[in-house]
Amino acid sequence: AQSVTQLGSHVSVSEGALVLLRCNYSSSVPPYLFWYVQYPNQGLQLLLKYTTGATLVKGINGFEAEFKKSETSFHLTKPSAHMSDAAEYFCAVRGSGSARQLTFGSGTQLTVLP
Amino acid sequence: DTGVSQDPRHKITKRGQNVTFRCDPISEHNRLYWYRQTLGQGPEFLTYFQNEAQLEKSRLLSDRFSAERPKGSFSTLEIQRTEQGDSAMYLCASSLGSDSNQPQHFGDGTRLSIL
């Protein structure tokens, strides 16, 4: 079975500061990992994904994440926060069954302070 | 690529009524998923279609819930005899082919409120 834990349900950073959103996963098979962003009253938009290969993956809007197998982590970072980054962020792991459904963490609400 | 479309965006209904939601996936996507998201939580998997076949259902999908994808294109999710606990955002997602590297693309959801 797969599971995802996101540490910190709320994170606040100042505009221009580093963004770090934490995600730890549990998976019985080599994991495929995803970060999605959700703006109010909207669906989820894919930021980036890790499947195989390079452990540092780059996504949209300047975000990147590093897969660390030894730490079972997939933390999301951005060097400099922008006001438009304020949203809820979800980490997800893909299931191992035929459906390949996603198991999501409970989300981290990012607030960017001026 | 027009994206995943869901209708309606909002639905308010009285307890005990039936409701039906529609999802139009990205046109070439053969895999379609329904998720439910309650306030302050991540989405939870409900069911999965490959083409017209419903291949997997979550334990969350009680017998009051039914989903169809009759021609392998759009899908509907029906909830019968709605209860207060059904209030949530219902999200549809689609993806392409058997290659599990392909990400799921989400619609904007249908927000259901039970009075």
- Of A27, A37, A61, residue with least CA distance to B42: A37
B55 contacts on A by Cβ (under 8 Å):
98-99
- Residue B56: which of A92, A99, A103 has the nearest Cβ? A99
Counting Cα atoms < 13 Å in the Cβ hemisphere of B25 gives 27
Per-residue tokens: A77? 């970072």
Decide if B109 touches A, using CB distance below 8 A. yes
- Of B42, B47, B43, B18, residue with least CA distance to B31: B47
Q: Which residues contact B5 (CB under 8 A, 6 or more apart)?
A: B23, B24, B107
Per-residue tokens: B94? 């689609």
**Bridge partners of B79?**
B19, B65
Contact B4 A43 (CB under 8 A): yes
Burial of B36 (0-12, 13-18, 19+ CB in 10 A): buried
pLDDT along chain B (115 residues), means of 10: 90 97 94 94 94 91 94 95 96 83 90 96
Task: Give residue-wise pLDDT tens across range A18-37.
Answer: 999 999 999 888 889 999 99
Contact B108 A34 (CB under 8 A): no
Give the pLDDT band of residue A41 (cuts 50, 70, 90): confident
Predicted confidence at residue A50, as pLDDT, reads 93
Residue written as token pair 């990400």: B103
A58: distance to nearest CA of chain B, Å?
A: 15
**Bridge partners of B29?**
none
